[in-house]
Chains A and B, each alone.
Chain A
Amino acid sequence: MKNLVIIGGGTAGTSMANKMIKDLPSDKWKIIIIERAKEHFYQPGFLFLPFGYYTRDQITKPSKTFFPKGAEVIISEVDRIEADKNLVSLKDGNSISYDVLLIATGTRISPEDTPGLKGELWQKSIFDFYTIEGAEALAGFFKTWEGGNLVINIADNPIKCPVAPLEFAFYADEFFFRKGIRDKVKITYVTPMSGAFTKPKSSKFLGSLMERKNINIITDFFLGEVDNKNKKILDFGGREVPFDCLVTIPLHSGDPVISKSGLGDEFGFVKTNKMTLQSLNYQNIFVIGDASNIPASKAGSVAHFQADILHKNILSFINNESMKAFYDGHSNCYIETGYGKGILIDFNYETEPLPGMFPFPVLGPFSLLKESRINHYGKLFFKWIYWNILLKGRWLPIPSRMSMTGKITD
């Protein structure tokens, strides 16, 4: 009996387990999932929580609901991966041997890496919305807040779901307008990038959208420290931005297990071949989702597309064949822009987000890089898709390789 061990039962690990169990002969292979949490959060819902659009219960389900029957599930914490021995050691002292290991340990915020960020104002005037605790605390704060300087700051890239801070800004604009205090809330978006977003076309589009919504933008700002006493954020060069409420997207790191096991880069992300998604150090280790250091978005859609590639490559590896599937960096995300509208972007390593229709030319129904109501409904409907199709590793009518169909180039 051989073991395929999956560390991490989040979006990436769960959908991979569901894909692999269909194709691995159960008399020869056992799938073992190691996960520490009993609850599975629909993470895109964290964006909605601070504004009271969702409650915790509406975005939470037990993790075990989604693991395939026939897989062994271990609820425990991993201490380290001993890759030279093909062994995963658990904190409870047990260890598990593997023939193939899939790392799906994700990423986490590390506010403690920025001086003053997790200081006395943490969860009093400084909030994150990348954790359930942060999002809930912010919801509580917004209920009674009467206005002032709302600063949304990205500490530095990479971050999970790079569009979420933008969506947060757009939602805040609408939320405070509906509350009747938009004139008392000054929204400032402070980013390390040189514009609203990274790539030229989408950055220009989103930048003008922010201008229309009266959201100020400060660019090229790399967060150095937070001055709790004077309620200011400072960049490394000493530039200051005052805040009354700071919504921070802190630095992100990989799981501590990765660094401890010697598999990561300086931020704890696993060194990974960006095409095959195999570890650069060990042939029988594969990496999916936010845990890798590849230059793609840390997002659920990326993990979903990667699952198709890994499914093929792991089967090839097991059968001693050369790997034929290559990940092209495909990413796809809805961006909520407020007032019941949204935009959609679709891109990969080489191609920046372009305007057009998706997935079909002319017919759409979703429009790329353009606001529409149907994009917003697409985002809302995605919650159902997430629980019922994506996590279960089922087929979706969107190819894992990006297509130029429907896209408009210059």
Chain B
Amino acid sequence: MASYTIQNVDDRQDYRLILITNNFKFLIIMAQKTYAGITVDVNEEGYFTNPSQWSKEIAAEIAKEEGIILTDKHYAIIEFLRNRHNSGEALSIRSINHSGVLDVKTFYQLFPGAPLKKATKIAGIPKPASCI
């Protein structure tokens, strides 16, 4: 039994066909975690593999794991990151400065250490891959 997912990778011309057999699917789903009573799919580093499973309540619990209590400021940047991810644009530290939400220094204060890695995890979107 095989299931097919047609993923729109580019809204203009291309459609890529991704074939996932049920057996293989079992192998590629790395893990599940339960936040706020809801079970979500995550990868081996704890990043969401299905951003639509995310909610604000879930975000607050992931943040707690990272030692962060979310405020309105946190949620504003999380919303920016999610919107940007949904529109297919790459995320970088530089792009934060252009977000109109906050500057990079504040971003570091809100998510100390590795802000982009932490914020994307809490925002329920993939870890940004810096392209080469």
* Residue contact B131 to A236, C-beta cutoff 8 Å: no
Known: A220-B114, A224-B105, A326-B14. A198 touches B131 (CB 8 A): yes
Could you tell me the distance between the alpha carbons of A162 and B90 in the complex, rounded to whole angstroms?
Answer: 17
* Residue contact A237 to B108, C-beta cutoff 8 Å: yes
Q: Does A276 contact B (CB under 8 A)?
A: yes
Selected from A157, A236, A267, A276, the residue in CB contact (under 8 A) with B105 is A236
**CB of B14, distance to nearest CB on chain A (Å):** 5
* Residue contact B94 to A267, C-beta cutoff 8 Å: yes
Tell me the nearest residue of chain B to A193, going by C-beta: B130
* Residue contact B12 to A273, C-beta cutoff 8 Å: yes
Tell me the nearest residue of chain B to A191, going by C-beta: B130
Set of chain B residues within 8 Å of A198, measured between Cβ atoms: 129-132
Could you tell me the distance between the alpha carbons of A162 and B92 in the complex, rounded to whole angstroms?
Answer: 16
Tell me the nearest residue of chain A to B107, going by C-beta: A236
Set of chain A residues within 8 Å of B114, measured between Cβ atoms: 220
Tell me the nearest residue of chain B to A197, going by C-beta: B132
Q: Does B76 contact A (CB under 8 A)?
A: no
Proximity string of chain B (105-126) to chain A, C-beta cutoff 8 Å, 1 when within and 0 when not:
1011000111101000000000
* Residue contact A236 to B104, C-beta cutoff 8 Å: yes
Q: Does A156 contact B (CB under 8 A)?
A: yes
* Residue contact A297 to B132, C-beta cutoff 8 Å: yes
* Residue contact B13 to A199, C-beta cutoff 8 Å: no
Chain B contact residues, majority secondary structure: loop
Set of chain B residues within 8 Å of A300, measured between Cβ atoms: none
* Residue contact A273 to B13, C-beta cutoff 8 Å: yes
* Residue contact A295 to B131, C-beta cutoff 8 Å: yes
Could you tell me the distance between the alpha carbons of A273 and B14 in the complex, rounded to whole angstroms?
Answer: 10
Q: Does B95 contact A (CB under 8 A)?
A: yes
Set of chain B residues within 8 Å of A84, measured between Cβ atoms: none
Q: Does A265 contact B (CB under 8 A)?
A: yes
**CB of B34, distance to nearest CB on chain A (Å):** 27
* Residue contact A323 to B107, C-beta cutoff 8 Å: no
Q: Does A57 contact B (CB under 8 A)?
A: no
Tell me the nearest residue of chain A to B10, going by C-beta: A275
Known: A222-B104, A326-B14. A156 touches B92 (CB 8 A): yes
Tell me the nearest residue of chain B to A345, going by C-beta: B132
Chain A residue total in the interface (Cβ 8 A)? 30
Q: Does B93 contact A (CB under 8 A)?
A: yes
Set of chain A residues within 8 Å of B89, measured between Cβ atoms: 265
Q: Counting chain B CB atoms within 10 Å of each CB, which of A192, A237, A326 scores highest?
A: A237
* Residue contact A192 to B108, C-beta cutoff 8 Å: no
A-B pairs under 8 A by CB, number: 59
**CB of A31, distance to nearest CB on chain B (Å):** 26
Tell me the nearest residue of chain B to A219, going by C-beta: B114
* Residue contact A157 to B92, C-beta cutoff 8 Å: yes
Q: Does A359 contact B (CB under 8 A)?
A: no
Query: For chain B residues 62-99, which have a beta carbon within 8 Å of chain A?
Result: 89-90, 92-95, 98
Q: Does A71 contact B (CB under 8 A)?
A: no
**CB of A379, distance to nearest CB on chain B (Å):** 18
Q: Does A73 contact B (CB under 8 A)?
A: no
Set of chain A residues within 8 Å of B12, measured between Cβ atoms: 273, 276, 280
* Residue contact A266 to B95, C-beta cutoff 8 Å: yes
Q: Does A87 contact B (CB under 8 A)?
A: no
Could you tell me the distance between the alpha carbons of A252 and B76 in the complex, rounded to whole angstroms?
Answer: 27
Selected from A199, A236, A267, the residue in CB contact (under 8 A) with B93 is A236
Set of chain B residues within 8 Å of A59, measured between Cβ atoms: none
Could you tell me the distance between the alpha carbons of A265 and B99 in the complex, rounded to whole angstroms?
Answer: 12
Could you tell me the distance between the alpha carbons of A198 and B131 in the complex, rounded to whole angstroms?
Answer: 7
Selected from A193, A220, A275, the residue in CB contact (under 8 A) with B13 is A275
* Residue contact B132 to A199, C-beta cutoff 8 Å: yes
* Residue contact A323 to B13, C-beta cutoff 8 Å: yes
Selected from B10, B112, B131, the residue in CB contact (under 8 A) with A273 is B10
Proximity string of chain B (9-20) to chain A, C-beta cutoff 8 Å, 1 when within and 0 when not:
010111000000
* Residue contact B93 to A192, C-beta cutoff 8 Å: yes
**CB of B46, distance to nearest CB on chain A (Å):** 15
Tell me the nearest residue of chain B to A222, going by C-beta: B93
Known: A265-B89, A326-B14. A157 touches B98 (CB 8 A): no
Q: Counting chain B CB atoms within 10 Å of each CB, which of A266, A274, A276, A280 scores highest?
A: A266
Could you tell me the distance between the alpha carbons of A275 and B11 in the complex, rounded to whole angstroms?
Answer: 11
* Residue contact B131 to A157, C-beta cutoff 8 Å: yes
List 25 A-B residue pairs with CB atoms under 8 Å apart, sorted by A's residue number.
Answer: A157-B92, A157-B130, A157-B131, A158-B131, A162-B132, A192-B93, A192-B130, A193-B130, A222-B104, A224-B104, A236-B93, A236-B107, A237-B112, A238-B108, A266-B94, A266-B95, A273-B10, A273-B13, A274-B10, A275-B10, A276-B13, A297-B131, A323-B13, A326-B14, A331-B132
What are the nearest 9 A-B pairs in CB distance? A295-B131, A266-B98, A237-B108, A222-B93, A236-B104, A162-B132, A198-B132, A157-B130, A236-B108
* Other 6 A-B pairs with CB < 8 A, given A273-B13, A331-B132: A193-B130, A198-B130, A198-B131, A220-B114, A224-B105, A296-B131
